[in-house]
Amino acid sequence: MTAIIGFLNTIFWGYILIYGLLAVGLFFTLRLGFLQFRHFPEFFRSVLRSPEQDSGGITPFQALCTSLASRVGTGNLAGVAVAIALGGPGAIFWMWMVALVGMATAFAESTLAQLYKVRDEHGQLRGGPAFYIARGLKAPWAATLFSLCLILAFGLVFNAVQSNSIAEAMQGAFQVPKLVTGGAVALLAAVIIFGGIRTIARVAEYIVPFMAGAYLLVAVYVLIVNYDAVPGMLALIVKSAFGLEQAAGGIAGAMLNGIKRGLFSNEAGMGSAPNIAAVATPNPHHPCAQGFVQALGVFIDTLLVCTATAVMILLSGVLQPGSDLTGMALTQAAMTAHIGDVGRYFIAVAIFFFAFTSIIGNYAYAENALTYLKLATPAGITTLRLLALGMVLWGAVQTVAVVFDAADAAMGMMASINLVAIVLLSGLVVKLLRQYLAQQREGKLPHFQASDLPEVAGQLDPGMWQAPRRG
């Protein structure tokens, strides 16, 4: 079994996804007319407009925060450090590049998730790749496989990995036993998870801006204090990216590690964030509105939070030739160099918030997949919640490497299915964007009706794309 999992990960992450995710990002960047550059202000307008009221949905801001809760995890601290240690400063340049094209991919998948969303028997909005794969492509077998992989990876195993990171950090900084940390995290997560999607969204709405804001403020402080070294740092990043500066990994190492870090962090094309994008009530009443919101999520995750980690490492001076520092140890050493011993505790607290919000965000995705499988009964949802919490407790005290490899294989499978689906459905995304922009040019607030896309007749949830339902 270990050999099979290793083989699948080599195929998925060594070949298919590294090139596939990048190629699909470039495809949508070109096909959507460079929307991430030409319509960047619309990303913010789609989040900041007064939310429409819907008793079964969440606000665009809550959807953004919940997707960021999942995207922004320990990888933003440790993963960036690994990329720099292995690929040199140039890895950051390629991380930026993959995020820029990934914004177009995130727009496409979340727009489709909004288009094909449904309302369950309790009036709750649901949706995600499984729904547009089954309804848009008429491939329910692929949608079922996607859902099972998502539940395994995001609903269960990745929560163990995040819990493990929290337990390690708390033990290292405050000498708290791992089992105690695991129990406390599981109890806290239970209070939120058992409240359902809307409770998760409300909690994310408060915690995510706080955690990301505090982290970015420290990065701004570092930039101000070291302002004279910033031009040299930027020049080093660009030179190293193209092999013009001697650095670890050379141009090939910089490109490979930067692309991997960007893809793993922002999740564009993975099919994860669309599960929460579908739950939002967009304003304006158009699928593209959530596409813009989730594209902004990629920008915040990689171009802001990951860059903040990179800045603090590169301006600290702790990464010297021959140094064996990497991962979280490198990030902690950099923070200590900037703000003293308190930096070690700051990183431990940051890990807690980043990883904990990932746990509740990941669970939200899995609940949507359970809905597609028609297993979202009270017993089914309770079972999923207990399993997820059990993985949190287990992950705090166990080495999760083997299980994490299995989750990587599951995520590789779901991402591959999703990439094929969004490319095949790309024509719908293009039509929706053109309609949205045309209505804007006419001075109208964009509004979508199901009759605007006759080719999807019979595929959409009845009554979903008429007048917004008021709560």
- Tens of pLDDT, residues 67-124: 998 888 777 887 888 888 888 888 899 999 989 999 999 999 999 999 999 998 888 8
* SS3 category, 243: coil
The answer to whether 158 touches 409, Cβ cutoff 8 Å, is: no
Nearest CA-CA partner of 464 in 339, 280, 335: 280
The residue written with tokens 């080719």 in the block is: 455
> How many separate helices (H) and strands (E) can be counted in the chain?
22, 2
Distances 140 to 326, 462, 471 between C-alpha atoms, Å: 43, 19, 32
Rounded to an integer, what distance in angstroms lies between the CA atom of residue 217 and that of residue 140? Answer: 46
Rounded to an integer, what distance in angstroms lies between the CA atom of residue 71 and that of residue 268? Answer: 10
Residues β-bridged to residue 126? 118
- Tens of pLDDT along 419-461? 999 999 999 999 999 999 999 999 999 999 998 999 998 899 9
Nearest CA-CA partner of 108 in 86, 68, 75, 136: 136
* SS3 category, 411: helix
pLDDT for residue 249: 55
Angle (CA) 6 78 63, round 5°: 90
Rounded to an integer, what distance in angstroms lies between the CA atom of residue 187 and that of residue 399? Answer: 21
The answer to whether 68 touches 208, Cβ cutoff 8 Å, is: yes
**Under 8 Å CB-to-CB from 288, ≥6 apart: which residues?**
107, 111, 114, 432, 433, 436, 446
* SS3 category, 77: coil
Distances 257 to 79, 89, 95, 407 between C-alpha atoms, Å: 10, 10, 8, 20
Residues β-bridged to residue 280? 58
Packing angle of the helix pair 342-372, 129-136 (nearest 10 deg): 30
Question: Can you list the residues of the chain whose pLDDT is less than 70?
Answer: 1, 55, 244-250, 252-253, 322, 399-404, 467-471
pLDDT for residue 324: 76
Rounded to an integer, what distance in angstroms lies between the CA atom of residue 342 and that of residue 340? Answer: 5
pLDDT for residue 246: 54
Instruction: Give the helix ranges, DSSP H, for 320-400.
Output: 327-339, 342-372, 378-397
Residues β-bridged to residue 58? 280
Structure tokens at 353: 């918030």
Rounded to an integer, what distance in angstroms lies between the CA atom of residue 334 and that of residue 329? Answer: 9
- The single-letter DSSP state of residue 375 is -
pLDDT for residue 247: 54
The residue written with tokens 């930096």 in the block is: 343
242-274 exposure pattern, b = at least 16 Cβ within 10 A, e = fewer: ebebebbbebebbbbbbbbbbbbbbbbbbbbbb
The answer to whether 353 touches 362, Cβ cutoff 8 Å, is: no
Query: What is the helix (H) or strand (E) element at residue 125, kind and residue range?
Result: strand 125-126
Length of the chain: 471
Rounded to an integer, what distance in angstroms lies between the CA atom of residue 231 and that of residue 49? Answer: 37
Amino acid at site 384? L
DSSP secondary structure string, 285-340?
SSHHHHHHHHHHHHIIIIIIIIHHHHHHHHTTS---TT----HHHHHHHHHHHHHT
- The answer to whether the Cα torsion of 218, 318, 254, 157 is positive or negative is negative
The residue written with tokens 């009530």 in the block is: 281
Distances 190 to 162, 208, 379 between C-alpha atoms, Å: 15, 18, 16
pLDDT for residue 386: 96
* SS3 category, 462: coil
Amino acid at site 8? L
Rounded to an integer, what distance in angstroms lies between the CA atom of residue 322 and that of residue 319? Answer: 9
Give Dmax (Cα) for the chain: 63
pLDDT for residue 1: 64
